[in-house]
Structure 1
Amino acid sequence: MNAYRMKPLAFPWPPFIYGAAIAAAFMLQAYFPLAVAETNIWIARAAGGVLIASAIVLDVWAMRTLLDCHTTILPNRCSTHLVTSGPYRLTRNPIYLGYTLATAGIGLAVLNPWCILTAMIATGATSIVAVRREELHLLSRFGIDFERYCNGTARWI
């Protein structure tokens, strides 16, 4: 039997990857501070708040869609249904996109430019560690339907 058919990941890595990215950004700012211009700080903080709020809305919407379709939210569990509705019409990874937006938003809100860099690194790491394996899992479970979905929907945005 195909190993990807059982479950895509042995451990749910993405939340830990993004948590490590945020922690790394704060450590980098402590040891290698990047100066932030004093002008219009409120704009950066407001933009950060908007990104964080957008991330929360996107994540809740995606999780609610998965629950409504009676499939798992956890990336280390077997998918029972191919979900192509809700935010999954716009992106194949709305939860991970939400994590990325939240990481960048935190950086803007607390004026830590390192969060932008670590958000990009976390996105790359998540693609390598989780997204590719999840896509193989979905391809082995849903075949041509998943291929059609991939052809019509972007991986990220």
Structure 2
Amino acid sequence: MSDVTERPNRLPWPPIVYVTAIGVSVLLHVFYPLPWFAQPLSGILVVLGWLMIAAFVALNILAIRAMRRAGTTVRPDRGTDHLVTGGPFAFTRNPLYLAGIMLVLGIGLAFGIAWFLLLALLAAFAVQKLAIEREERHLEARFGATYLDYARRVRRWI
């Protein structure tokens, strides 16, 4: 990346990371299944998993709407034109990435596959290193003190 103000990444890393985490989790479960919780805890976890999947959908819709209202791109490999601080961006600087992790965790809980829990943590780390930290440099270069003030008020994840 030659100019941090131009764009934060060349590749849209977050969706690649989430799809990889889901695929690897499924493969590991097929070839090396891990034990899961017994009833009644497993039943509670299934419900929690489906709630997390629903939250993924809702958070994605709200974040995309907020970005479109602000007139900026949703793509993680494009430069942003406007700093979005409303909607879900008022409580997390990365609602789309938080939603992606909720999806990975939700699938694992809903289907009782322990590998998803480990891979969700690895995916969160990868997204932070490959996307979030680069985007934060991009936003600071583009919006300066305005972004730094926003970053002080709103947490990176939750």
Find the counterpart in structure 1 of residue 60 from structure 2. Answer: 59
Find the counterpart in structure 2 of residue 27 from structure 1. Answer: 27
Count of aligned pairs between the two proteins:
156
| Partner amino acid, structure 1, of 2:48 | A
Find the counterpart in structure 1 of residue 137 from structure 2. Answer: 136
Find the counterpart in structure 2 of residue 110 from structure 1. Answer: 111
Post-superposition CA distance 1:79-108 (Å, at most 9, x none): 110111100010000000000001000001
Post-superposition CA distance 1:9-61 (Å, at most 9, x none): 10111001011001111111112211123312332211110000011101110
Q: Percent identity?
A: 37
Q: Whole-Å Cα distance in 2 between the matches of residues 76 and 54 of structure 1?
A: 24
Q: Whole-Å Cα distance in 1 between the matches of residues 134 and 54 of structure 2?
A: 29
Task: Give yes or no for the alignment of 1:17 onto 2:17.
Answer: yes
* Greater displacement, 42-51 / 112-121: 42-51
Deviation at 1:121, TM superposition (A): 0.3
| Partner amino acid, structure 2, of 1:91 | T
Q: Whole-Å Cα distance in 1 between the matches of residues 37 and 134 of structure 2?
A: 41
Q: Whole-Å Cα distance in 1 between the matches of residues 100 and 155 of structure 2?
A: 17
Task: Give yes or no for the alignment of 1:36 onto 2:36.
Answer: yes
* Structure 1: 5+ residue stretches without partners: none
**RMSD of aligned C-alpha atoms?**
1.0
Post-superposition CA distance 1:91-143 (Å, at most 9, x none): 00000000000100000111101101101100000000010110111011000
Matches within 5 A, 1:38-117: 38-40=38-40, 41-117=42-118
Secondary structure at 1:4 match in 2: coil
Runs of 4+ deviating beyond 6 Å: none
Normalised to the residue count of structure 1, the TM-score between the two structures is 0.96
Q: Whole-Å Cα distance in 1 between the matches of residues 38 and 98 of structure 2?
A: 29
Normalised to the residue count of structure 2, the TM-score between the two structures is 0.96
